[in-house]
Structure 1
């Protein structure tokens, strides 16, 4: 009788355990498209959880203004270094080759230089070449030394000479006006060509002081100067 009671007890316990396990809801499978879990302390707010007022405020928030780049002020990089002048081309070419050996480029040029101021006495251009030569014959028959200007800003005008001294130019203008000739004068800068080596901005700074000392000992008359690159005109 005791064995029957124990058997019934074990059967009841087994049936109770089976019903307990079978009655629990099965775990749902995790979808592969689920979003990753936020890190500790971080909360993911879905759009559905944000109020319409918060969304409108976020859209209306001003965007940060772009950072404005400031333009660099003008620097000495606009200056070229000039070495010269050289009476002979081979002298300048020799230094150009020495610079190239030091990985510095130099360009030997004939540069137009400003010389002594001159003063041009002239008669304003006439309407045509024919009229200019008619006026020329009239002046020459009166003993006035003159010639027709063939080209330039005073083409078809009459030239009475170019002078290095202002006093001589003014004296001739006064003399011609006494003869009824409406002569005038203007300044004419005299220009000439010289050979110079032109170094681009910053190139001279890459040369050691010993190079300049050696160069000065070989060419005592050598001049080194700086000028705006835009004003260094080659001839």
Structure 2
């Protein structure tokens, strides 16, 4: 009977050991190729940030909003192409009892559509392309300096349709032609009258004697000093 007792004891020990091992396996997490939960949380945060970045930002909206107090409006007279002419005009206005301040203003004039081939890698290559174009009867020249040195100009057009027509024609012939809008920037000189002054009859008489000038309205310059 003793061997039966020992056999049962060994069997119980084996069963107990197997049960404990199985329990530990159930409690141990399996290794996976998928990212852990923390990475998933980070991805969710990134998605939320992307959505937030698409919403209007209060700071930017406040900066873009117009001021509640409107800036003063001034009567302006001009323009003149150089400061000496503007000073002579201001002397006339002063003699008529009108104070004024001369302000230079940068403006763009002569807006044109430029048709061109982009700059070549060398002057020699640009010359070869120029000769090829001129042999085909295409009016063109090489740009000699500046950001577009060694480009080939095919002309300036006031009409965007004309420029686009030439671009299409040249591209169909195999030339990578582009169109760029250009303008000449010049400085004009205007005389600003004080905010409370519209010029009245005195300004009307001045404009009769200076037909090249005109009257307009503009925001008054800051920290203005009016010379009467």
TM-score normalized with structure 1 length = 0.50
Q: What are structure 1's unaligned runs of at least 5 residues?
A: 1-72, 231-235
Q: Displacement, 1:148?
A: 1.0
Deviations 1:94-126 (A, max 9, x none): 4412556769452275x4433353211111112
Paired position in structure 2 for 1:107: 102
Secondary structure at the counterpart of residue 223 of structure 1: strand
Is residue 223 of structure 2 the alignment partner of residue 205 of structure 1? no
Is the contact made by 1:100 and 1:106 (CA closer than 8 Å) also made in structure 2?
A: no
Is residue 162 of structure 2 the alignment partner of residue 148 of structure 1? no
TM-score normalized with structure 2 length = 0.51
Q: Displacement, 1:223?
A: 1.6
For 2:146 and 2:220, the matched residues in 1 are separated by 27
Matches within 5 A, 1:211-222: 211-220=199-208, 222=214
Secondary structure at the counterpart of residue 204 of structure 1: coil
Return closer, same or farther for 1:100/1:77 CA change in 2, 3 Å cut-off: farther
Is the contact made by 1:139 and 1:146 (CA closer than 8 Å) also made in structure 2?
A: yes
Paired position in structure 2 for 1:12: none
For 1:149 and 1:79, the matched residues in 2 are separated by 44
Q: Displacement, 1:80?
A: 7.1
For 1:124 and 1:229, the matched residues in 2 are separated by 42
For 1:227 and 1:151, the matched residues in 2 are separated by 39
Please identify, of 171-180 and 128-137, the stretch whose mean Cα deviation from structure 2 is larger.
128-137
Q: Which is greater in Rg?
A: 1
Matches within 5 A, 1:1-235: 82-86=76-80, 92-98=86-92, 104-107=99-102, 109=104, 111-115=105-109, 117-191=111-185, 194-197=188-191, 199=192, 204-207=194-197, 209=198, 211-220=199-208, 222-226=214-218
For 2:171 and 2:165, the matched residues in 1 are separated by 10
Name the structure with the higher helix share: 2
Return closer, same or farther for 1:152/1:216 CA change in 2, 3 Å cut-off: farther
Return closer, same or farther for 1:79/1:160 CA change in 2, 3 Å cut-off: farther
